[in-house]
Amino acid sequence: MGTKYLAAAVQMVAADDKAANLAEAERWVREAARRGARLVALPEVFVWRGEKHREKEFAESLAGPTAAQMARLARELGIYLLAGSILEDIPLSGKAYNTSLLFAPSGDLLASYRKIHLFDVDLANGVSLRESGTREYGASVVAAKTELGTMGLTVCYDLRFPELYRSLAAQGAELIFVPSAFTAFTGQAHWEALLRARAIENQAYVIAPDQFGKSPKSFETHGHSMIVDPWGKVLAELADGPGIITAEIDLDYLAKVRAELPSLRHRRLS
């Protein structure tokens, strides 16, 4: 297992043009690989964001065209690729899962995670969201062992539920993804604090690619994509606009943090 490698997170804003979103995502993934990233992560629902009542229309199976394109891209570039999340079709249902996909450099699908916590809120700034109206709850905690370490999968609103992250740490997660389309209103108050807390509590790297700005037919998102180390230090951040951030993942450093402050071993409650 390589102890050091470069990871990247992509920041973009998706609209309801699936082809344009996929083209932009691929452009940034290629740029990240060109810069030497062995692991690249895209944000939540990077392939389509539009009117809620049309979500089912744009949902796909895990054998659909978006997954196939991401698999080809991972294989061509020889990278681990987190396809932030897509809307996964549920046959005979009016709803879809919000599903994150992790591909190996071979193009094989290593793991798929269906978002467990759905965002049903009425915010003070007037934004009202009911994810459960069009999406189904996931049920399984998912981590994948790779040559770059054990990777845990979460999505956006999951960030507010520390028990999920502790479950991932118990499965050996050394790096945890948080692909997001985090609302601007809540992000200003809580995004960085929550990301750093999840990294510190679980002594893991956190990679959080976020959408930014106002999607034409959806709510405004926070941006500020981040990569955070196991000590809670923000290694890279992109406040606004499209682009990529990169940071070195050092598994020897992670082991040092866990050895010197062995809080994961000192747990008394389960």
Q: Residue 156 catalytic?
A: yes
pLDDT tens-place string over residues 70-101: 999 999 999 999 999 999 999 999 999 999 99
Q: What is the mean pLDDT of residues 4-29?
A: 97
Tell me the C-alpha distance between 250 and 256, whole Å: 10
Q: What is the DSSP letter of 214?
A: E
Q: Residue 44 catalytic?
A: yes
Tell me the C-alpha distance between 150 and 175, whole Å: 7
pLDDT tens-place string over residues 192-249: 999 999 999 999 999 999 999 988 878 899 999 999 999 999 999 999 999 999 999 9
Quickly tell me which residue has 């990233």 as its tokens: 37
Q: Has residue 2 got a pLDDT over 70?
A: no
Q: Residue 136 catalytic?
A: no
Tell me the C-alpha distance between 248 and 229, whole Å: 9
pLDDT tens-place string over residues 143-190: 999 999 999 999 999 999 999 999 999 999 999 999 999 999 999 999
Contact 116, 164 (CB under 8 A): yes
Q: What is the mean pLDDT of residues 33-61?
A: 96
Catalytic residue among 24, 88, 136, 156: 156
Contact 28, 35 (CB under 8 A): no
Catalytic residue among 55, 60, 88, 115: 115
Q: Has residue 1 got a pLDDT over 70?
A: no
pLDDT tens-place string over residues 115-149: 999 999 887 777 788 999 999 999 999 999 999 99
Catalytic residue among 44, 60, 174, 220: 44
